[in-house]
Amino acid sequence: MNDCLSAFETLYRTYYRRMVVYAGGFSAVPAHERTDLAHDILVHAWLKREQFRPRAGTDRSEEQKLNAWIYALARNFILDRIRANRLRTIPFVEEREAEPIARSKTPEEEAVSSDLLKSIRNAISAMSERDREIAQLVFYERMTAAETARVMGIPGATVRWRLAVMRKALRQTVEERS
Amino acid sequence: MKKQTRNKIDDLAHEAIAERVASVKYPESVPLPVFRGAETQETAYTVEESRQKSRRAAVAPSRQASRQSSGQMFRRYASPFNLVAAALVCCLILPPLAVGRDARLSHISAAVHSRGEIERCRMAAIDIISLAAQGQHNSPRR
C-alpha cells in the first residue's frame, strides 16, 4: 500500500503544476476550477494506470511516453468535464506574474532575459487556445509533432503548420525586444 | 528559419512556460490524505476515498450544490415562493377539477342571474339543455 501511495505522490508532485497550467490553457475552465481539475486528472490517471501501455519501437523514453499518455488523458478529461458541467466561458487572462526562477546570470542579463521572457509569455498567452496547447506540449514537454498530434487528435501536418506560425511570431517578438 | 534560431526560440518558449509552471503552488492548505495515510500509518485510504477527502473545502457554491443529494438540494433551495405556488395550485386548480361539471353549471347560473343579458341567457340555456341531454340533472332554478 505504501508503495502505491509513494508512487501516487511522485505522480502528483511531478504533474500537478503542469496540469494546472495545462487546464488553464482551456478558456472554458474558470481559474478557480484549475487546481481541482488538476487533482481530478491525476487521480483519474492513477485509476487508469493499468491502461498505460507504451508503444514499442520508438526512440522516445518511457518518461516521454508517459508524458504523452497523461496529457492525452488530461485533455479528454478536461473536455469531458467542460461538456458535462458546461463550465462558464471566460477570457484567458494570466492571473499573476510568474515568479522568476533563480539563474546564474549578471543582473543586466537577468533584467534583459526577464523582460524577454515576459514578452514571450505574453505572446503565448495571446495565442489561440489550440496554439497554447501545442506550445505547452511541444516547447515545454518537448513532445514531437506526431506525439502532440496524437494527444490532441489532430493531423500531424496541422501541428507542424501551427508550430511554424508560432515560431515565426515568437521570433518577431524576440527581434523586437533585441 | 535556421535550426539555430529555431532552437533558441524553442528554448525561450520552454523557459517562459517553465516559469509559469513553477509559479503554480502546491495545495499546502489541503494536503492529500494519501500522504497523511502514508506518513502516519493510521489509515489506508483507497484512491477513491482520497479523491473524496482531499477535495478543497472552499469550492464554488454551484459545484458544492452539484455534489449534494437531491434531498439536500431541496432543503437548500426550498423557498416561501414554492410553498405559495403549491398552495395556489391546491386552492385554485384542484377544486374545479374535483367538482367537475356541477361547478360549471353553477357558474353558468350565476352569470345568468347577475347580468340578465338576453344573449347570455340564451347561450346558458343552450348549455343547460345540452348538458341535460347528456344526463346531467343539476340545472339551476329559473
Q: Is A101's pLDDT higher than 80?
A: no
How near does any CA of chain B get to the CA of A43, in Å? 7
- Using the beta-carbon criterion (under 8 Å), do B50 and A36 form an inter-chain contact? no
Query: Nearest Cβ partner of B17 from A33, A43, A124?
Result: A124
pLDDT at B28: 59
The C-alpha atoms of residue A109 and residue A118 are separated, in whole angstroms, by 14
Kindly give, in sequence order, each residue whose CB lies less than 8 Å from that of residue B135, ignoring residues fewer than 6 positions away: none
In order of A1, A6, B70, B85, the CA distances from B46 in angstroms are 9, 13, 26, 46
DSSP state for residue B42 in the 8-state scheme: S
Phi, psi of B52 (to 5 degrees): -70, -40
Q: What is the pLDDT of residues A128-162, one digit of tens each?
A: 889 998 988 998 888 889 889 988 999 999 999 99
pTM confidence score = 0.55
Chain B interface, mutation test: which of A117, A142, A177, most B Cβ atoms within 10 Å?
Answer: A117
Q: What percent of chain B has pLDDT over 90?
A: 0
pLDDT at B60: 44
The closest of B13, B22, B141, B61 to A134, measured between CA atoms, is B13
pLDDT at A164: 92
The closest of A175, A80, A46 to A123, measured between CA atoms, is A175
B33 touching A, CB under 8 A?
no
Owner of C-alpha cell 507542424: A160
User: Cell triple for residue A150?
Assistant: 496524437
Residue A82 burial class via C-beta count within 10 angstroms: exposed 0-12, middle 13-18, buried 19 and up: middle
Residues 95-154 of A with CB under 8 A from B: 96-101, 116-118, 120-121, 124, 135-136, 138-140, 142
Q: Is B135's pLDDT higher than 60?
A: yes
Question: Could you tell me which residue, A130 or B124, shows the higher pLDDT?
Answer: A130
pLDDT at B78: 55
pLDDT at B108: 55
With H, G, I as helix, E, B as strand and everything else as coil, classify residue B131: helix
pLDDT band at B101 (very low <50, low <70, confident <90, very high): low
Tell me the H-state helices in A54-155.
62-85, 107-125, 129-135, 145-152
Q: Is A97's pLDDT higher than 50?
A: no
Under 8 Å between Cβ of B43 and B37: yes
Give the ipTM: 0.74
Q: Stretch B46-62: mean pLDDT, rounded?
A: 49
How near does any CA of chain A get to the CA of B78, in Å? 23
How near does any CA of chain B get to the CA of A2, in Å? 6
Q: What is the pLDDT of residues A30-68, one digit of tens each?
A: 887 888 888 888 888 888 888 888 777 677 788 888 888
Under 8 Å between Cβ of A41 and A74: yes
Q: What is the pLDDT of residues A61-91, one digit of tens each?
A: 888 888 889 999 999 999 888 888 765 544 4
Handedness of CA A87, A97, A120, A147 (dihedral sign): negative
How near does any CA of chain A get to the CA of B39, in Å? 9
Provide the residue type at A141 as one letter.
E
B59 touching A, CB under 8 A?
yes
Q: Which residues of A touch B17 (CB under 8 A)?
A: 21, 121, 124, 135-136, 139-140
Q: Is A99's pLDDT higher than 80?
A: no
Query: Nearest Cβ partner of A21 from B21, B54, B56?
Result: B21
Under 8 Å between Cβ of B34 and A8: yes
pLDDT band at A94 (very low <50, low <70, confident <90, very high): very low
Question: Could you tell me which residue, A16 or B44, shows the higher pLDDT?
Answer: A16
Q: What angle do CA A109, A112, A114 make, to 5 degrees?
A: 100
Query: Nearest Cβ partner of B47 from A47, A168, A174?
Result: A47
